[in-house]
Structure 1
């Protein structure tokens, strides 16, 4: 009997031990599964990034610093006529250093939800320094975005400032045709169909975070990419937008800045400046775009046509005016790199250097903006002269030392023309030239 009791105790002990081992193993396996489900990976290549192993969570941190230096060669005025543009003393800030951008940002994706917050510390005080601040959600084939972001208009407008070829954007962007309206608050929806057709629509307020919700803007963009391979990409697109300004909103106007960021601001017309009984102050803009990348060479151009309501008065009647702007641009990677096409934006980005010495890119751009209705009787530009046109030729060199480090050198040759003040008077021009250099750090 003692043997049976002893045997039972041994069996019980063994069974208990086995059960304990089973429970321990089960607990361990559960712990491993929980750890695997909630494990994160931290990456630093290309910028800090936190990712969950299951791919449902991702947090990306970014920063950029653009430090510019400028040297101006102002035009000399004709003593027989009033000076304008760079001919006017103190018409622009002095040359020297300029902290152009100082961004920090964080982008978070959790399943089909996303969030982005981006601030530019070089742009002044918060919240006016906010750039992007939005929440997005995948909805159907595209993404719904609510907050502050760029309206969907223009190839060069939507390109990142880290990846634009020249130091400043052309006149078909918020540097000209959409003056001051780069970041606005509203709702947008964008997507890609069949990996060839991109689309985006938005309804915005003509305001950003340090302004009251006022004015309105709505429009959309479509683009078609027949083929998009590395070194062989063809792109076509167009956009249309309507900006309806109010007294508290951003103005619907065209102000072309020539000679770089610290150059001369030339007004080409302001909607509502000639207001009478109707009070209309809208801007209607159509823009077409095309680009082709073949090997190390990229060609692109855009044309914008913008109608401004009630810019001036002739004979007591309100008159509208039309501003056209366009540019053509070519770039060549001497060291053989090929521009990267980013379908999520419908715009080109820049490649990583393939040599330990970095990548070298040469570029040239011709840019023109003019009010087609300016004359001695119609004066939407407020110059009292026969013409209102700005032309800029920009020569650029980019050295991509390594990923995240770029040096840029731009030389601007400008020709602002206001025409004559009447019969027998000569056409007047402002021929400012500028050399600008940028040190760009980013991740």
Structure 2
């Protein structure tokens, strides 16, 4: 039976944003970002050559089509090719926001925090592997007092391999965030779940780098899992902010249900702390942390540390285990320009090339508008 949720329905909705609509649109803004990375590696078993890469080069626009509907269209033109990011229509509905198109699936504080505002150059490995990132679908967000609820019905992402003769994946996700303490002292608690029927797309592969990208080599890798019927994921998240100090922790789990093999579960977590030396505090809105806006012309300085663990070992699947300690130094020249330095100590067990302990020093220059 074909899935009742047709990808073409979502595409048709997004296609309603015509050139005529843009001509009549109000408050249209051009948006973009550029993240330029370089890294030097102290390799162990796997050779990781020092290199430079354009991590992100995004360009797009957003605005209002009328008093009811708004839109955003953004594409990435980085070195690995062109890819769609947020492409959607949005309107308010029953006290919340209804979004139709491609957006992030509501799962995970680390994933949902913008790449312009994440504390480290890359998200934690467990987030990279588990969170679904952007998919086509229908999402609804509603906040009341100190509670935020987000839900989404979704299918594949734009450009992920459309096959009109096959049943597409179909998933549903929900995230609940509670902020019992707000203001200068902020407490954030969250839980999320996502269940997906893979349809006829029964092959999945989970792998990751040691939380830095210029050497585009994965050191943990499950290989292709070819008989996947469905996945069930859940996450727990917590954060506390007291002025310039913040701490964040997250756990993510992914159970892969297979038709011809035993089910397997992969999981991981991260804990991180940061302190802004110049007295600013990180912004927070809509269940996610925002960037840092310097108070003076001298900019803002932030120091941070993160520990993460990820396991791709379960049953007959030996994809490897990875733990990382990352030290970070961030300089915010303005609210739109940031320079980052990360020192990473990775510990790989049962990896692609066995056990190893590579190190990396990575730098980033970024701007956004």
Query: What's the CA shift string for 1:41-90, capped at 9, x where partnerless?
Result: xxxxxxxxxxx9xxx94322211111111111110xxxxxxxxxxx245x
Check conservation: 2:283, 2:289, Cα contact below 8 A. Answer: yes
Match of 1:202 in 2: 152
Larger radius of gyration: 1
Q: What SS is found at the alignment partner of 2:85?
A: strand
Query: What's the CA shift string for 1:396-422, capped at 9, x where partnerless?
Result: 000001221110000110001129xxx
> How many angstroms apart in 1 are the aligned matches of 2:149 and 2:27?
25
Match of 1:66 in 2: 35
> 1:318 pairs with 261, 272, 280, which one?
261
Match of 2:322 in 1: 390
Pairwise mapping of residues 146-295 of structure 1 onto structure 2 (< 5 A)? 146-173=100-127, 175-178=128-131, 181-194=132-145, 196-209=146-159, 211-212=161-162, 214-229=168-183, 231-246=184-199, 248=201, 251-263=203-215, 264-267=217-220, 269=222, 272-273=225-226, 275=227, 280-295=228-243
Q: Which has the higher strand share?
A: 2
TM-score norm. by structure 2 comes to 0.85
Q: What SS is found at the alignment partner of 2:317?
A: coil
The 1:270/1:241 distance shift into structure 2, 3 A limit, reads farther
User: How many Å apart are 1:429 and its aligned residue?
Assistant: 2.0
Q: Considering only aligned residues, what root-mean-square deviation do their CA atoms show, in Å?
A: 2.4
The 1:124/1:268 distance shift into structure 2, 3 A limit, reads closer
After the TM superposition, which segments of 4 or more aligned residues of structure 1 sit over 6 Å from their partners? none
Check conservation: 2:126, 2:309, Cα contact below 8 A. Answer: no
> How many angstroms apart in 1 are the aligned matches of 2:223 and 2:178?
33
Check conservation: 2:37, 2:214, Cα contact below 8 A. Answer: no
User: How many Å apart are 1:270 and its aligned residue?
Assistant: 6.7
TM-score norm. by structure 1 comes to 0.72
The 1:72/1:246 distance shift into structure 2, 3 A limit, reads farther
Structure ranking higher on relative contact order (CA contacts 8 Å, 6+ apart): 2
Match of 1:429 in 2: 355
> 1:99 pairs with 33, 49, 54, which one?
54
Query: What's the CA shift string for 1:242-274, capped at 9, x where partnerless?
Result: 13335558x54432321412354244547843x
Match of 2:19 in 1: none
Match of 2:18 in 1: none
Q: What SS is found at the alignment partner of 1:364?
A: strand
Unaligned 5+ segments in structure 2 are 1-23
User: How many Å apart are 1:302 and its aligned residue?
Assistant: 0.3
Check conservation: 2:149, 2:175, Cα contact below 8 A. Answer: yes
Query: What's the CA shift string for 1:87-129, capped at 9, x where partnerless?
Result: 245xx5x322211111112111231211000011115544xx1
User: How many Å apart are 1:428 and its aligned residue?
Assistant: 5.3
Alignment length, in residue pairs? 339
Q: Is 2:342 the partner of 1:410?
A: yes
